[in-house]
Homo-oligomer: A and B are copies of this chain.
């Protein structure tokens, strides 16, 4: 009887080959047959809502997750109730790669905006990649990319001041929205000022003041979560405003 309902559910469960994310997601570059094989092990859950967890720290590691729609943050909770935000994840991005090693998650993943998620049982994925060199290659690439990203984040936290960090953050979001077919100039933040600050190693107040300052400088317009970047070019230069000649380490 409730055929319509089933059908509308199924709409969310598009196969990889008909998914708009295919060019920037895990199956990227697989040939149609391989993509089908991968497709068969992927589970597509009903949408999760703001505040829901994909997994929590110390949960047993079963699956990798890919954001299909919506957004997700990952964070490392600390004993005392604090947390370090590790990343914000947009459609097509893979979550959980840091859990492979010790078979349990060492961060938590929480939904920021209602999200459709693809679940990939890692055991199956690993098995599949044994007989599918292109998939194995893709996994190596994605793992490696995650490392590169973490390293540039380390550089950002180690070397850049507050305004450089926020500028870099906004430009990163902008570029990622662009790749996904959204405007790189005009978008909504799915995270709070608090979460941005936490992610960037800054206090909320600093983030807030910087938004105000950037607006005064004509770099952007901001109204709550709504951001309009007015000058990407100039924002780019802000990320290097303090080109610190300091700590050069002379070659030995």
* Contact surface of A with B, Cβ cutoff 8 Å: 50-51, 75-76, 78-84, 86, 97-102, 106-107, 126, 129-130, 133, 136-137, 139-148, 150-155, 157-159, 192, 194-195, 197-201, 204, 243-249, 251-252
Contacts and interface: CB of A to CB of B under 8 A. Distances in A.
A100 B150 contact: no
A14 B128 CA distance: 34
A76 to B, nearest CB: 5
Contacts of A136: 126, 129-130, 136
Contacts of A79: 243
Given A51-B251, A51-B252, 15 more contacts: A76-B151, A76-B152, A78-B159, A82-B245, A83-B248, A84-B158, A97-B143, A101-B141, A101-B142, A101-B145, A106-B151, A126-B136, A147-B147, A157-B157, A158-B200
Given A51-B251, A126-B136, A137-B126, A98 B198 contact: no
A246 B130 contact: no
Contacts of A154: 84, 86, 150, 153-154, 157
Contacts of A142: 101
B99 A144 contact: yes
A194 B249 contact: yes
Oligomer: number of copies: 2
Contacts of A151: 76, 86, 98, 106-107, 150
A51 B248 CA distance: 15
Output the residue of A75, A148, A244 with the most chain B CB within 10 A.
A148
Contacts of A50: 252
Contacts of A144: 97-101, 143
Contact of A147 (B75, B126, B137, B146): B146
21 contacts: A82-B245, A83-B247, A83-B248, A86-B155, A97-B143, A98-B147, A100-B141, A101-B144, A106-B148, A126-B133, A143-B143, A143-B144, A143-B147, A150-B150, A153-B154, A154-B154, A154-B157, A158-B199, A159-B201, A195-B249, A197-B247
A136 B244 CA distance: 42
A204 B198 CA distance: 26
